[in-house]
Amino acid sequence: MGNGKLFRISGPVVTAKGTSARMYDVVRVGRESLMGEVIQISDDQTTIQVYEDTSGLKPGETVETTGLPLSVELGPGLLNSVYDGIQRPLPVLRQEKGDFIARGITAPGLDRKKKWDFKPSLKKGDEVKPGTIIGSLRELNTEHRLIVPGNIKPGKISEIKEGSFTVEEAVCRLDNGAEIQLMHKWPVRKPRPCSRKLLPNIPLITGQRIFDALFPLAKGGVAAIPGPFGSGKTVTQQSLAKWADADIIVYIGCGERGNEMTEVLDEFPKLIDPRTEKPLMNRMVLIANTSNMPVAAREASIYTGITIAEYYRDMGYSVALMADSTSRWAEAMREISSRLQEMPGEEGYPSYLSTRLAEFYERAGRVVALSEREGSISVIGAVSPPGGDFSEPVTQNTLRVVKAFWALDAKLAQRRHFPAINWLTSYSLYIEGLEGWFSEKVAPDWRASISSVMRILQEEDRLMEIVQLIGSDALPERERITLRIARMLREFLLQQNAFHPVDTYSPPKKTYMMIKTMLRFAELAYAGLDEGKRAEKILNIKAKDRIGQVKFEKDYETFLKGIEKEIEREFREL
């Protein structure tokens, strides 16, 4: 490979002359062999974004090309790992070099010494092609299925071994001379192929009532969760990671403050997986690229995370990817774009911001993989708009791509209403596609019940404007009852305690039964008014206030049926 010389240095963006590198090739820059990636080629000049601090570099130093694009190592050992944006294992670097990452140091993404017990599922003479599963091994609590990499041509197995192997040892040989190891590499900017995409008609059950009931997300769907500082993004994402109906969780801390990322790194290893009673980290991959780490690695971290997610999707698993936050990723793109002297778009962001966001979210989806197994990637991207302004470019361009929008509201957080999701500005376009699943698995009138809840909450918003002018006592009796029902829905249904052992997870059936009990009260209350009963007496019915207690009850069915009978008895006695 032809080596070049450094010609110009501008922060993380450097220019070299005389290299033979191609677009997106990884290069080694300077005496310390800093890792970089080619992002622009013009005549004999090559522009490189360096993934490490460039202070101390001088013009004239050597630039060496590797001839390979930025790739991640895929194989056993990814789960329970903490990486930086370019898949350097942070705990390994800490053991070797101490708490501070020195420039130019590197370590392989997967442990080269550890042995894994591999069991083949195919035999000699079987035909294989890219995507075929040839065997499996245990990776913590997960069955890790070994996939034939995409760069191997179809052929017949000439030899396949069972036993303990490191990730670099060949476990299978084909008649065309190809060798298959437990590990392979994949370029992060290239989506992994699949056989076909499926419709998003199965929900990702999160156990959070406001999401599952009002704004559901489909498996393979994409959601944005924008919110200002202190509105509860991190706790909401932790609840989603813990309870979402996904086999594997990939969490990308992209450009977040160091103290927030420390909180995540402290909290997640302590979280217990409710499915297995073992640490949740056993089915998680954490990518930590804080705001004080090099800006170019932050831009790559999103791609590193989604490539790892695609690898587990291809095995036939359901993956949930949390990106916190895509705003910091966009800021990294803006900084690199300005150093390239590109024409800026809105608010200084590059003109290709919307394209990059769309390309990232398009890698989500429920698919039939090349292995003919069904897998999915659901992406939940946090957005941090400056000052909570949802009209800024990153939020607006994200809104064009995602179909579920969960808007966090600082005012709700100040009123201690958690999760602080604003039910008037949030929406989900998956409701129609998921209606069949909820009708079949939960209740035939699920959609009608949800529509009634939204109608009451919207009516409350309209009435509150009048209340602020003239007070609630001046309202007609019917409207006063509507306000009370809306308050019950807000406090009993939409508020949820992420730290209570029972209320932290609410199955869809429990959510539905809570809604039906409150709607039954509404039905009896309006009927009582029509019969001439006074609103004060209807609002004094005691049983309705006990509906909120069901949040903390394990045997919710018996409890709610008892409350419904009490409500009906009290109405008869009016």
Check residue 330 and give its pLDDT. Answer: 93
pLDDT digits (tens, 9 = 90+) for 155-188: 999 999 999 999 999 999 999 999 999 999 999 9
Find the domain containing 461 and state its range: 446-573
Q: Please report which confidence band the pLDDT of residue 472 belongs to, taking 50, 70 and 90 as the band edges.
A: confident
Is 266 or 5 the better-scoring residue by pLDDT? 5
- Spatial separation of the C-alpha atoms in residues 392 and 424, rounded to whole Å: 20
pLDDT in tens, 422-459: 999 999 999 999 999 999 999 999 999 999 999 999 99
pLDDT at 2 (0 to 100): 63
Is residue 39 included in any domain, yes or no?
yes
The rounded Cα 244 to chain-centroid distance in angstroms is 10
Per-residue pLDDT tens over the stretch 345-382: 999 999 999 999 999 999 999 999 999 999 999 999 99
Tell whether the model's pLDDT for residue 273 goes beyond 90: no
- For β-strands 365-368 and 318-324, DSSP reports them as unpaired
Same domain, 274 and 392: yes
- Given a cut of 90, is residue 473 above it in pLDDT? no
Q: Would the pLDDT of 78 be above 80?
A: yes
What are the tens digits of pLDDT across the range 12-45? Answer: 999 999 888 899 999 999 999 999 999 999 888 9
Please give the pLDDT value at position 157: 96
Cross-strand partners of 179:
173
| Last-in-domain residue among 140, 158, 182 | 182
User: Which CATH number fits the domain that encloses residue 63?
Assistant: 2.40.30.20
Condensed to tens digits (0 to 9), the pLDDT of residues 251-263 reads 998 887 777 777 7
Number of domains in the chain: 4
H or E, element range at 338: helix 326-339
Q: What is the pLDDT of residue 259?
A: 76
Is pTM beyond 0.85? Reply is yes
Q: Which CATH number goes with the domain that contains 149?
A: 2.40.50.100
pLDDT at 317 over 90: yes
Q: Could you tell me whether strands 81-83 and 284-289 are parallel, antiparallel, or unpaired per DSSP bridges?
A: parallel
285 and 142 in a common domain: no
Task: Give the residue from 28, 26, 29, 24 showing the smallest Cα distance to 39.
Answer: 24
- What pLDDT shows up at residue 228? 81
Whether residue 245 is found in the same domain as residue 161: no
Domain end among 155, 182, 209 = 182
Closest by CA position to 211, among listed 486, 502, 383, 408: 408
For residue 115, tell me if it sits in a domain: yes
What six digits make up the tokens of 320?
A: 């949930």
CB atoms within 10 A of CB 410: 17
Q: CB within 8 A of 377, min separation 6: which ones?
A: 220, 306, 309, 310, 313, 319, 320, 321, 363, 364, 365
Could you tell me if 328 and 276 lie in one domain? yes
The mean per-residue pLDDT over the stretch 75-79 comes to 96
